[in-house]
Amino acid sequence: MFTSIGLVAAALTTFSFLPQAIKVIKTQDTSSLSLGMYIMFTLGVACWLIYGLGIRDIALIGANLITFVFAVIILTVKVINVRKGIDPIK
C-alpha cells in the first residue's frame, strides 16, 4: 500500500516538471527562472538519486532519475542563456 502511494507521489512530482521542460525547450526562455534555485535543485535531486540507488528504492530511483534529466535540461538552457547575456543571474 505505501509503495503504491510512494510511486504515485513520485510520478506526480516528477512529471510536474515536464510542462516546464517542454516550455523551456520550445521557447528557450528561462528569464523567469532562478539560476541559483535550479543549481541547488539539480544537486538535491542528484543526491536523492544516489540515496535511492544506495537503498535500492525503485520509487526514489525512477522519480529522481527522470526529474534529474528534466532539471539538467532546464539548467543547461538557463546557463547558456546567462552566458550569452540573454538572461540575468537571479
Domain assignment present for 73:
yes
What's the pTM?
0.83
Q: How many domains does the chain have?
A: 1
Question: Could you report the per-residue pLDDT of 9-55, keeping only the tens digit for each?
Answer: 888 888 888 898 899 999 999 888 889 999 999 999 999 999 999 99
Domain assignment present for 41:
yes
In sequence order, which residues have a C-beta less than 8 Å from that of residue 63 and are 6 or more positions away? 10, 11, 13, 14, 52
Containing structural domain, residue 49:
2-84
Domain assignment present for 11:
yes
The gap between the terminal CA atoms of the chain, to the nearest Å, is 42
Domain assignment present for 90:
no
